[in-house]
Amino acid sequence: MDDEAERQGERPGPPPPPPRLFDGEALAPSAAPRRRFLAVLLAVALLAGGIGAALGASVIRPQAAAHPTRPRTAARPSLRTLAATVAAVEPSVVDIRSALSEGGAAAGTGIVLDGDGLVLTNNHVVLDAASLTVTTGGSASYPAHVIGVDPAKDIALVQIDGLHRPLAPAHLGDSSGLRVGTAVVALGNVLGRGGVPTPATGVVTAKGRSISASDDLSSKPEKLTGLLETTVDIQEGDSGGPLVDLRGRVVGMDTAMATADGGDAVIGFAIPINEARAIARLITRGRAGDGIVLGTSSFLGVEFPPSGTLLASAPKVPGAPIEGVVTDGPAAKGGLEEGDVITALGGRPVTSPDALQQLLLAYRPGMAVGIGYVDRSGRHTVTVTLGSTVK
């Protein structure tokens, strides 16, 4: 609500009716995937604790604490304004739960983009999922599938399957006009507890921030740029949820958090909604390329050591050394084990885990591919069938 209405004690009016996702454009129907993202699973051992351990996947944490560019003080919205803001946004917020391919589960949040169940969330919320369940209104649960993702931007588009009734689309604002000092509210599935989304208040402290981030399931840092920085207390499970202004307009998608100077003060980071909306538009139009990959993800089911780390049990040859394999995954079924080194995929040389990832992008789930590898007894070749991580 605007400050003038607050000062005069007027009842805040309802937010304007939410527009269609792309300012009046009809959404493209979900098409059969033309390209598939084949992910190599990481950090399987971190899931030993089940859902509790996996919840860290819901919030990517910057490796080094960032520093707010402005004082972290702002007037809190009145209880009436906060209640009105939450009421306007809550129907457009959903919980997302993923059953991970290697066991365990993770939880996050999503933003409803249209009445038919198109949902915006973070890529790391759906990464390495064997199946997805979306809960609407805190109670009704439905299966869902991934339409497409942009891993570099940490954005994913999910479609809810078998909806019983239309959902309320979020009112997407204009993040380009967002000013430092604007009061904002985040809603999300805090700690994966489900139910009514939990709000947290704060203020925008900077725009265009860049961070290096990683989550509890991956040791590889992720570079994210152009983010909104806020004082909102983003917590695990909030990832993918809306950051809104006091008129109930979504201005960002909550993505990461850090603590300032090692203390208790929290710094929240969000992807500007204009960027997320533009990527969602490309995904619905079937635009693969430029970082966007369409359809369900696939996996080989291997775990690699952190970049630059030598694996003592692996032969000293160029390639991708295997630190672990997913039980009953494609690699395990092909006989690959910890300590083996993958040296070729589909007849092309593999010089590193990253090189293997790039080669895998040319393949789809269910495809058979030849893998060359080296173990302590010599060189071998085996054919494996790649699996799907999100059905």
Q: Phi and psi for 278 in degrees, rounded to 5?
A: -65, -40
| Residue 329, token pair as written in the block | 């995954």
Categorize the per-residue pLDDT at 217 as very low, low, confident or very high, splitting at 50, 70 and 90.
low
Return the minimum-mean-pLDDT range out of 91-95, 137-141, 204-208, 228-232: 137-141
Q: For position 292, what pLDDT does the model report?
A: 77
Who has greater pLDDT, 135 or 74?
Answer: 135
Question: Taking the model in full, what pTM does it have?
Answer: 0.65
**Other beta carbons less than 10 A from residue 289's beta carbon:** 9
- Stretch 102-131: mean pLDDT: 87
Q: For position 102, what pLDDT does the model report?
A: 62
- Stretch 329-342: mean pLDDT: 91
The SS3 call for residue 118 is strand
Q: For position 46, what pLDDT does the model report?
A: 18
| Residue 249, token pair as written in the block | 């307009």
| Residue 350, token pair as written in the block | 């593999």
Asked if 375 contacts 381 with a C-beta cutoff of 8 angstroms, the reply is no
Q: For position 204, what pLDDT does the model report?
A: 95
- Stretch 54-63: mean pLDDT: 33
Q: CATH 2.30.42.10 spans which residues of the chain?
A: 300-388
Fold exhibited by the domain 3-284: Thrombin, subunit H (2.40.10)
The CA distances from residue 185 to 201, 265, 294, 301, in Å, are: 4, 17, 31, 39
- Stretch 131-135: mean pLDDT: 90
- pLDDT tens digits along 31-49: 221 111 222 222 221 111 2
Q: For position 254, what pLDDT does the model report?
A: 94
Integer Cα distance of 205 and 245 in angstroms: 14
| Residue 121, token pair as written in the block | 């969330």
Who has greater pLDDT, 337 or 74?
Answer: 337
Residue 75: is its pLDDT beyond 50? yes
Q: For position 17, what pLDDT does the model report?
A: 41
Categorize the per-residue pLDDT at 117 as very low, low, confident or very high, splitting at 50, 70 and 90.
very high
The SS3 call for residue 72 is coil
| Residue 208, token pair as written in the block | 């265009």
Q: For position 8, what pLDDT does the model report?
A: 36
Q: For position 263, what pLDDT does the model report?
A: 59
Catalytic residues: 124, 154, 239
DSSP β-ladder status, 183-188 and 198-214: antiparallel
Question: In this structure, which CATH number among 2.160.10.10, 2.30.42.10, 2.60.120.260, 2.130.10.10 belongs to the domain 300-388?
Answer: 2.30.42.10
Return the minimum-mean-pLDDT range out of 11-15, 214-218, 264-268, 326-330: 11-15
Residue 214: is its pLDDT beyond 90? no
Who has greater pLDDT, 15 or 201?
Answer: 201
Residue 388: is its pLDDT beyond 90? no
Residue 254 identity (one-letter amino acid): D
Q: For position 279, what pLDDT does the model report?
A: 93
Residue 114: is its pLDDT beyond 50? yes
> Which DSSP letter does residue 196 get?
S
Return the minimum-mean-pLDDT range out of 10-14, 196-200, 361-365: 10-14
Q: Is 321 exposed, middle or buried (0-12, 13-18, 19+ CB in 10 A)?
A: buried
Categorize the per-residue pLDDT at 28 as very low, low, confident or very high, splitting at 50, 70 and 90.
very low
Residue 136: is its pLDDT beyond 80? yes
Categorize the per-residue pLDDT at 389 as very low, low, confident or very high, splitting at 50, 70 and 90.
low
- pLDDT tens digits along 157-173: 999 998 888 999 999 99
Q: For position 10, what pLDDT does the model report?
A: 37
Categorize the per-residue pLDDT at 284 as very low, low, confident or very high, splitting at 50, 70 and 90.
confident
Categorize the per-residue pLDDT at 104 as very low, low, confident or very high, splitting at 50, 70 and 90.
confident
Q: How large a percentage of the chain has pLDDT more than 70?
A: 71
Residue 317: is its pLDDT beyond 70? yes
Q: CATH 2.40.10.120 spans which residues of the chain?
A: 3-284
Q: For position 212, what pLDDT does the model report?
A: 78
